[in-house]
Structure 1
């Protein structure tokens, strides 16, 4: 089963992008692909980088007010600013400070703390080995969470996980989380089960998740020493400029069917190559995040409407809103009308799942606009919602639940 990731705005080439892509591929192989493939480890996975052909500020964003005087703390270009914003939010909510960023979130909802822990890993880790070990550690952690969710569907974090009581800091929290989840796994049908016959490799407890704990603490210490606005506003400004810049450049330079623009060529070529390897027994899955969803939809409806995609997953995307504004080449100004209240989905797409976090201001529904689109809402309530999806094992596990045939 070939699979293609189409990234969103603000991604550029370099070590950080390669690290995130490798991590996301690992999570897809561990959680999503087993739901639809008999050989998840052998599936070819592509992640075309279109960001290097998107927005390039000729004056290095000098037009952004305060850019010359405001500082992001010397964190460096590889820092995930949205994860920093999440750490800021956790400190603001927390009662004790930087040593309890995760613990304070866990007291409200353990799943949020786990999402932040894994979302921080690509920014916190400098080597693929650490990410690989932590990604594998996600399997027992998520299986354990799913099992406790089933036992206590309406219970609080303390009721589901009594071991949370008495913990003093985030390192103790991660240690207890790993201990509580040890031996848990998923069956082939996605149901969690516990077995003590699968011990946790020692390296996972010392070089995976705790590595992210130290990084989050350093960010939180820095955040606590500054006014919230001095770090959050520049981070949000970076997000807005990246979003606007990449969208505008794509719309300006996407080209025509006869002469497609560079971004369309890059993504279209990856989709076409993956489509060549698909078959009835080996279908094609495309996961498109944010602006990547708009680019993918434009390609499948205008530039390459011949390309078959068996499963399309748009996540944190604006496809529905772009169609409301009639921004796609295939947009028909006469729809909606009395005879056609919704737009027909791309003709060659077998199933379309659109994932929306209710706290993500850049995520839009698709089902009210497109016939056949399935909206799936994830209610995390987290500040890092938009950039966090593809770094969180829970996203892949939740989508896999939707893709598995009903039992």
Structure 2
């Protein structure tokens, strides 16, 4: 059973970490999603890359506000971001060596996902071990939840009572979660998984320090720098897609790239087997547009839109397949095309780029997923429990 993944905004093959992040995402698909929808050893993951056809910065980002240095002309004496951070810094800060421990005592699953979100981009060589570790940790948490469904302090994870700090927590978590025969893989000297988790812990610690206690003038630059490039990519990708999507019979380059891989996946589908499409961010818009307007003949059994803007685009009348008279008293919601047999839409309410679909479309179910990440839009597909919970949702839909 083939799986097609359609990426979202700000994906560029020439950027640092693109290949490694893609490899880790696909390995998490193999660990969690493919066993539910098909044979992980035989199913191919199709990942059409359309970022090369999207927005490009001809002046290399010279329009970004971050290029306007402190010596530039100003109309105000204070930086509004600095004032906000200064207010945040006055709040009581938590013990920086017990951040994860505080989270673990509420829900250990959140520790696994938080570390997955804040950890450094893996190398391609590391992606396999990280995916295996994610599977091991996730399985351990699920076993304990099943064994002790009504959690009480110290019952589900008795060893947690004796943990003193975050360093101790990581060691005990790996020890408890890993079967004895596999411990050498994750607990040996110089182990790459343990080292990666330690780096993730330090990143989380520094992030809290930045917001809570670091000098305002330093933190303003740290928090602002990633935003202009991301916003430029987002706006550029949307404009590039809308401006060149073409029409039926002569689709634009982005639609054409995604369509080629969807067609290839459909050809691979054996009789009575299902085709699943997972689409993130603007990829969800592209997938819906393609299936509703360009290729209504292409049947997809499961469409999963994640952190996507499909609902917003529909409200703004940007889909050719959505009639301009909707909504109406006779039809308060849009009928999805019949070739999309099952559709779920996942949003993190902390994700500013995620929009609901269920109030706009019939036969669509919205699911909330709280990533707990500072930048929620990029967190979904890095978190093992997102994959685990999505796999469970797809399994129920196939019954």
> Which TM-score applies when normalising by structure 2?
0.84
Determine if contact 2:175/2:183 at 8 Å carries over to the other structure.
no
Which position in structure 2 is the counterpart of 1:51? 51
Q: For 1:163-312, what aligned pairs fall within 5 Å after superposition? A: 163-183=159-179, 199-205=181-187, 206-217=191-202, 220-221=205-206, 224=210, 227=216, 228-312=219-303
Structure 2 CA distance for partners of 1:398 and 1:330, relative to 1, 3 Å? same
| 1:296 Cα deviation after fit | 0.7
> 1 CA distance for matches of 2:192 and 2:153?
26
| 1:94 Cα deviation after fit | 5.7
Structure 2 CA distance for partners of 1:230 and 1:111, relative to 1, 3 Å? farther
> 2 CA distance for matches of 1:104 and 1:12?
37
> 1 CA distance for matches of 2:148 and 2:131?
26
| 1:169 Cα deviation after fit | 4.1
Determine if contact 1:108/1:157 at 8 Å carries over to the other structure.
no
Q: Between Structure 1 and Structure 2, whose CA radius of gyration is higher?
A: 2
Determine if contact 2:154/2:160 at 8 Å carries over to the other structure.
yes
Q: For 1:355-374, what aligned pairs fall within 5 Å after superposition? A: 355-374=346-365
1:137 corresponds to 2:122: no
1:146 corresponds to 2:142: yes
| 1:173 Cα deviation after fit | 1.9
Which position in structure 2 is the counterpart of 1:19? 20
> 2 CA distance for matches of 1:156 and 1:308?
47
Which position in structure 2 is the counterpart of 1:80? none
Determine if contact 2:54/2:237 at 8 Å carries over to the other structure.
yes
Secondary structure of residue in 2 paired with 1:41: coil
> 2 CA distance for matches of 1:27 and 1:397?
9
> 1 CA distance for matches of 2:111 and 2:92?
13
What whole-Å deviation, never above 9, does each CA across 1:78-127 have from its counterpart, x for those lacking one? xxxxxxxxxxx9xx986233x55534443454322211222345x3422x
What whole-Å deviation, never above 9, does each CA across 1:358-402 have from its counterpart, x for those lacking one? 222211111111111111111344323210111111111101111
Gaps of 5+ in 1: 71-88, 184-195
| 1:321 Cα deviation after fit | 1.3
> Which TM-score applies when normalising by structure 1?
0.82
Which position in structure 2 is the counterpart of 1:118? 116
Aligned residue pairs: how many?
A: 369
Query: Which 4+ stretches in 1 moved above 6 angstroms?
Result: none
| 1:226 Cα deviation after fit | 5.2
Structure 2 CA distance for partners of 1:362 and 1:152, relative to 1, 3 Å? farther
Determine if contact 1:320/1:364 at 8 Å carries over to the other structure.
yes
| 1:354 Cα deviation after fit | 0.9
Gaps of 5+ in 2: 71-87
Secondary structure of residue in 2 paired with 1:309: coil
Determine if contact 2:114/2:371 at 8 Å carries over to the other structure.
no
Secondary structure of residue in 1 paired with 2:285: helix
Structure 2 CA distance for partners of 1:301 and 1:145, relative to 1, 3 Å? same
